[in-house]
Structure 1
Amino acid sequence: MTEILLKIGTRGSPLALAQTHEVRRLLAAANGCDESRFAIVVIRTTGDMIQDRPLSEAGGKGLFTKEIDAAMLNGEIDVAVHSSKDLPTAMPEGVAIAGYLPREDVRDALVSVHADSIAALPPGATLGTASLRRQAQVRRLRPDIQTVLLRGNVETRLRKAEAGEVDATILAYAGLKRLGLAHRATAVLDIDTFLPAVGQGAIGLTARTNDAATHLALGRIVDADTGYALAAERAFLAVLDGSCRTPIAGHARVALGRISFRGMVLRADGSQIFEVEMNGATSDARKLGAEAGHDLLSRLPAGVLG
């Protein structure tokens, strides 16, 4: 019988499983053994079970992670694979972020049978999404567009948009690429006009804080530059106490030991945006992100943060 080296926990959606199989492949290659030495454990989360309302109304951050965290602390799994934008800003005691895989494309993608851009959507078009950030950024560009709740996995949302149940939807381009569905994107939205969510495009790996052997194994596959970028983005979000109830966007770029960060808070209807940009050394990534958050926080009118 094959000895299992690590048990990897994940949600059961096609995208979550695709990400987890990629982690298992990389772990096997980096540790010089067969993929069968790494068991995949599927865990159903509260976020997966809630489909009839926005997650912002059901508790926000942590709905896709708390059952997985509990399984880790109970010893049922050793590693967890997450879409990084689902990770809460404050991790539960005993669970630590071990790092991130090299980041995929961070951009959002428009899917529509009616138009090849947000500007070209028909007057009063309906856009299906559960993301307050996407709603606010669309309304900023097109105040006439009506947003409606659209939950479900990537394939479900694609099908509903392509069947005309809504005029358009917006999805993370990274998810489409990981599922081999990039060709289904009608247009990829430029970061300068449509800033992504904090953590978008990055696969995050968590482990028990005191599990040195697992951290060592994961250290062979994680990417340092993605770690710097996410440190800045997550520090920015933490200062703003970002939850699913406030439209917040943030993105850090890393090159040649330097990091450039841009963050944004929007009113829910897109009528106002508040932005900040900062640059610095990657060694100061977390400090830079926090400073950007404090700078923006000092300029926000009362009532903007939910």
Structure 2
Amino acid sequence: MKRNLTIGTRRSQLALWQANYVADALRRHDPELSVQLQHIVTQGDKILDVPLARIGGKGLFTTELERRLLDGTIDLAVHSLKDLPADVPDGLCLAAITARHHVHDAFVSNTYATLESLPAGACIGTSSLRRRAQLLHTRPDLVVSDLRGNVDTRLKKLDDGQYDAIILAEAGLQRLGRADRICQLLPVTTMIPAVGQGALAIETRADDMSLRQALAFLNDQDTAAAATAERAFLAAINGSCQVPVGVYGTVRNGTLTLQSIIAAPDGSQVCRTTTQGPVADSAAIGKEAACTLLDDGGRRILTDLGITPTY
């Protein structure tokens, strides 16, 4: 393996935290290794005044990094796994998926302690169709308003009184030292997380076997198995991080349990299922869950959004 590595990363505080987390782990693992970061601006970073669901497409936060990998400008890219499309481009691979921590969505408010305590008509901010659909399914009396920007920008908009509450990923708040802003962690029964939420993905060139082997120590087998099922689900519905689906896998004693939903954006319909099986069948479990929900009304929901499922 080369002794000088370049990690590609977005410029946001959270992305830099994630890239530095991996860089520090690599340096500890091999003190003679030189690791540097290269900042890359993605399409999702450039368009900040339009809800993500309206921008459309896949790879809003990853395509530019993958181009740099393919042209050899960078050696590896660090992504929030939830931002990574289910299909990895030819010539690239996921060398490691880190252990997942802080998987939940967090309710943040300066006035109210819980989602349940919000009064009817309160304004809650999120840019995620997944969150919007589940919020409105639970609380159809709320007003859900679009919210874009990095973590600090979103918190400032809350502090400025633009929203009564906002929903953010627990992982991002924890990583940036903002855990004190969390009022409530939303249970999975209320809010199923996004595909890969809470985990980091390390992407590199498929033919760089020495680097792939060097990164293997960062891979967490249980998280990788859960992510395999979640991403197989996403591939089967031909989805992206901008569609109203939630999938969350957990592994215990060799058994994978996958909770998943496909929901109408207005919360009027939620198709939900729980699927189990051996860890070795992770991909098949994800596909099975997708097929179950597609047959249970999910196909119509996605078709109405202009999405044609693979199965």
Write out aligned runs for 1:291-306 (5 A): 291-300=288-297, 303-305=300-302, 306=305
**Aligned 8 A contact 1:113 1:164 in 2:** no
**Residue aligning to 2:15:** 16
CA distance in structure 1 between the partners assigned to 2:11 and 2:135 by the alignment: 30
Aligned partner of 1:249 in structure 2 is: 246
Report the equivalent of 1:137.
134
CA distance, structure 1, for counterparts of residue 282 and residue 275 of structure 2: 10
Other-structure match for 1:234: 231
The answer to whether 1:207 aligns with 2:217 is: no
- One-letter amino acid of the structure 1 residue matched with residue 131 of structure 2: R
Q: Secondary structure at the match of 1:109?
A: strand
Cα distance change, pair 245–103 in 1 and its aligned pair in 2 (3 A): closer
Alpha-carbon distance in structure 2 between the residues aligned to 1:132 and 1:76: 34
Name the aligned partner's letter for residue 134 of structure 1. R
| 2:218 match: secondary structure | coil
| 1:45 paired residue among 24, 36, 42 | 42
Q: Which residue of 1 aligns with 2:110?
A: 113
**Aligned residue number for residue 220 of structure 1:** 217
Separation in 1 of the partners of 2:299 and 2:25?
47
Greater mean alpha carbon deviation, residues 292-301 or residues 218-227: 292-301
Say if 2:3 and 2:32, in contact at 8 Å, map to a contact too. Answer: no
What's the CA shift string for 1:110-158, capped at 9, x where partnerless?
Answer: 1111211111112211111110011111111111211111100011111
1:174 aligns with 2:176: no
The sequence identity of aligned pairs, in percent, is 43
| Residue 309 of structure 2: aligned partner | none
* Alpha carbons of structure 1 residues 239 and 28: separation in structure 2 relative to 1, 3 Å: same
Counterpart in the other structure of 1:57: 54
1:290–1:268 CA distance, 2 compared to 1 (3 A)? same
1:288 Cα deviation after fit = 0.9
d(CA) in 1 for partners of 2:21, 2:32: 15
RMSD: 1.4
How far off its partner does 1:275 sit?
0.9
Point out where structure 2 has 5 or more consecutive residues left out of the alignment: 306-311
Structure 1 distance, partners of 2:276, 2:298, is: 25
| Alpha-carbon distance in 1 for matches of 2:212, 2:7 | 13
AA aligned to 2:9 is T
User: Normalized against structure 1, the TM-score is what?
Assistant: 0.95
How far residue 84 of structure 1 moved from its aligned partner, in angstroms, is 0.5
Q: Deviations over 1:45-96 (max 9, x none)?
A: 0100111111222223201011100111111101100000100111111111
Gaps of 5+ in 1: none
Deviation, 1:99, is 1.8
Instruction: Give aligned pairs, total.
Output: 302
Whether contact under 8 Å (2:128, 2:242) holds in the other structure is: no
Q: Where in structure 1 do 4 or more consecutive aligned residues deviate above 4 Å? A: none
Which position in structure 1 is the counterpart of 2:94? 97
For each residue in 1:221-280, what CA deviation from the matched residue of structure 2 results, as whole angstroms up to 9, or x when unmatched? Answer: 211111001000000111111135531001000122211111001111111110111111
3-state SS, counterpart of residue 299 of structure 1? helix
Query: What residue identity is the alignment partner of 1:229?
Result: A
Whole-Å separation in 2 of the counterparts to 1:256 and 1:274: 28
